[in-house]
Chains A and B, each alone.
Chain A
């Protein structure tokens, strides 16, 4: 029988600080690869700005396609991070401690990536700031009735709050890192942690504000994806104009986000040697959330179709008919397979403990959720009110490159973060040490 690991404060610190050591060449090759993709996407973007959006395959009527899909996808990804860090914090879910930093980092970078997508999509990106209110001689302000302005506010608020939230969590951890390191690192970490020392007074305010931030982030996260869903639901277009979009999108966001957490955590835990801190118990819990939200999403698909059928609105009926059996039908069924059928495997505890399988499932869910947005966006636009103006979008090199660029950007930022800032919250792990020990005990008992 394997000895049950009994981590203490010091060991937790050591394990985490090990992740901050200067990385080896493999890491830099990985970063270099991602950077190359980002640069390539940047060049494609420059070309697109210079020549016009005609270099993409956007067209009448698919005015929106992959860029907005990416936007919704990345905003969605962001959501689970806040769920795990804020909502579960409020619910005092102890298992979140080990995973929440990964999730929250993912949130911050996913929102950042998401914020780039509407810029990529703008016809005149150099005027993007017209979306924000600022005093100007033209007397002109944005139209606050437009869901896109809500988006600008929601996403930028979300970005700010999630970065602050991430930063708040980081402060004591980075202070630990500061005190464990020397030289320029000490200086750097000292800057980041703002000279944190952990006095009782600081902790008092810290706890107060952390709780309140969690309390604010919770309604925020729900509002953000609701607002994103209203980008579509506010439009008249059949397939978009739907009252269930807000909860449907929020559930989908958490679903895809948790899947993304799994996708990131399973390799990261191995790569950074964090198996003792992120245990299969944690992963199991995540998988349960994935399963639960998958069921909600499946339910939403059914409700959506039912509403179309029940409304007898010919436009709706036709749009959904086309969605299932039209030129994009195969994407829809692939999406159903990825989002509704595959996650059912998670009912089995064995599957939830099988990391390889779980990783594959999480990847499939990511694909499925991307497709869901694409099917909703491009598919609904394709079969609009005017049959003469229907049209089906096919991705172009530029769009594919920029999409790849968003993934590369996200992964690059995440990878950089993971090696230079603590990717596991030592403070919270230490705080919840006894639950961690309990988890490890349970783990080894089950293994036996």
Chain B
């Protein structure tokens, strides 16, 4: 599906609005859109909505051998997918430049900032470690994917619980959630990305650009920071030149936004934990607002299955009973048999047609096939192959055999009767069996 292009009028309109410090959705320049976090029923699963941008995150784990150069560290794997659902321009199985760039940023934000303690993921040094895998799926693209992805990623990692393990000697036991409570990952800090879009060569600046704004921006600055005001990653793209003050201003804004978002994340995590502890309802179903008219819920409904047996029985008895078996297999040669009739197989007709041909060809001295294959079992008594003489094979009365003596001029021996009996001999190689065909 093709991406919808942005018209020139739209482009001009947005840029003009930005010059007048107005945004399409009514936000101020430094305003962040609403962030909403909802958790799934599984651990390590969440959906983060940043305005209309929506990202699904899922963390999973697996026991694997560690990398040889880091035998005591767990393995982290991050993968962001741009689902074709998110925007019409995204195609499955393609790696557009944007995706590569985003994945690099996620790597830098979550891996290189060392926010996850990888050493705590080691089970047996050099043998078994946990591999933590974070899958991020963009579900709806309304700009600023990276911020939403970084929030979703860190929330999912904080929410995730891996199975507890114990090591006794060489035995590694993995406990089910029923046996032992799963363990959370040890997370040192929460890096969060904040994006700034620049317009008119850096004159105007917007926080958290929407998709439309992104499509007209000149450059983008992404700063990843944790709540301790430590910058984890900073990246400017789009080829604009920024003044030092601008970068500093951005980092100050980032600090404020990160503090707000971190608070929100912590609140959301606490809330979810509380609900789970108290045995309340949780999962995506709870995150659907009841008052929305586009949403509808139905409580568990009973289906009357009282007399399904009778009804099913009725259908079966009404149907015709299984018919008698008609088809009788016809055995051609050991290992080959046939049932049914009707449409002729384009491979199968060779036996008959070649027989006909053979009649025509009688007398011509053309070579038709090499034949000096050993023939097993019952045929060996009459069929023998000798080295320097033409090979003679003939026990079956009606079988025609053509032999090529490879050294000299081709000779052939053919014995044939015109009877059309079913072949009893087994011809090993040249497939000239005759079939008794029902059609005749």
Are A and B associated in one complex? Answer: no
